[in-house]
Amino acid sequence: MNGKKTSPVILVTRKLPPAVEARIARDYECILNGDDRLYDDAELVDQSDGVDAIVCCHTEHFTRAVIGQLPDSVRAIVNFSVGVDHCDLEAAGSKGIVVTNTPDVLSDATAEITMLCMLGAARRAGEGFHMVRQDLWHDWSPTFMLGTQVTGKRFGIVGMGRVGQVAARRARGFDMEIHYHNRRRLAPAAEQGAIYHETLESLLSVSDVLSLHCPNNPDSRGLLNAERIGQLPDGAIVVNTARGAVVDDEALVEALGSDRIRAAGLDVFNGEPDGIHPAYRELGNVFVLPHLGSATVETRDAMGFRALDNLDAIFAGREPADRVT
Ligand code: DGY
């Protein structure tokens, strides 16, 4: 940072898309992360010295301890993410720090990845890809690598928010029957014929494909545990494009290993990226992706602009549209 401070100083913790960085550099004094190096907690605090707001991703952990050490100059944590489970909202709120996120703009991209995970798991795409690339494919036969068809099956959604609703629309394209469980029942116009289940147990019992779309919070952590997996139909498919923390990995791995669960399509993991359950790297019936839900050029630009709209509102003294605390 050079020269006299004339506008708010913004710490941008990760390398953002070029158009987003161009806008923030135009409008603010900013500290960019050209190398896209992941800051640990101590660096996050150090880098925040003299900063008015932080634009960050889910890769930075704003725990109570980190927030406690942030300088008083920090007025806002502006997330480039819809998930805010990496931020201790209570600690931020009690320090008077505004926290925002980026809803809506990533629903389409994430629902696309949901379909990819569902099909990848159902049609054994990971195994097939591996066979071709490793030159292990030398025959075709009527019984070769049979998967299961999703057309006409029941698609069970846990968390019928924005992404869940788009995933439902996409799954209807496969003639799937849509079922969901949500804290509140949606209005008929939003339901579009989806069948509401007041209890999770009721949803589980009819879900040929179970797709997780709820945020990670104390209510949802470890939600898909051994008991609930036991309530799924035999041979069900589990899809997770929400957060790894919603799944009890030991329970899912055990069910996948015994074929109680036919397959899983997972884009998110506990301990990602390096500390994921080792079985997810081994099991043939798991289709895995490296947290790509929102990873399209269009969506990442839109997330950045939405984050900057929130930032602009905060420094213009307006209420940011996506304030979470
Ligand atoms: C989100 O926005 O929460 C995505 O998981 C990427 O961070």
What pLDDT score does 5 carry?
Answer: 55
**Phi/psi at 212 (5° precision):** -95, 125
| Residue 170 token pair | 């996409």
Written as six digits, the tokens of 294 are 């929102």
Instruction: Determine the pLDDT at residue 6.
Output: 74
pLDDT digits (tens, 9 = 90+) for 212-242: 999 999 999 999 999 999 999 999 999 999 9
Burial readout 100-122 (b: 16 or more C-beta within 10 A, e: otherwise): bbbbebbbbbbbbbbbbbbbbbb
Let me know if 202 is exposed, middle or buried by CB neighbors in 10 A (0-12, 13-18, 19+): middle
pLDDT of residue 1: 47
The residue among 219, 110, 215, 225 whose CA lies nearest residue 168 is 110
Q: How far is the CA of 147 from the centre of ligand 1 (A)?
A: 30
Q: Is 244 in the pocket of ligand 1 (CB under 6 A)?
A: no
Cα–Cα distance, 71 to 40 (Å, whole number): 17
Q: 159 exposed, middle or buried (CB, 10 Å; 0-12, 13-18, 19+)?
A: buried
Confirm or reject: Cβ of 289 under 6 Å from ligand 1. Answer: no
Question: Running DSSP on this structure, what letter comes out for residue 23?
Answer: H
Q: Pick the atom of ligand 1 nearest to 102's CA.
A: 2
For the beta carbon of residue 193, count every other beta carbon within 10 angstroms. 9
| Three-class DSSP category at 224 | strand
List the structure tokens of 305. 């602009």
Q: Which one of 23, 75, 272, 323 is the catalytic residue?
A: 272
Spans in the chain with pLDDT lower than 50: 1-3
Pick the catalytic residue from 243, 262, 300, 306.
Answer: 243
Active site annotation includes 75 = no
Q: CA dist 19 to 37, 122, 305, Å? A: 20, 38, 9
Pocket test for ligand 1, best of 16, 294, 300 (most atoms within 8 A of CB): 294
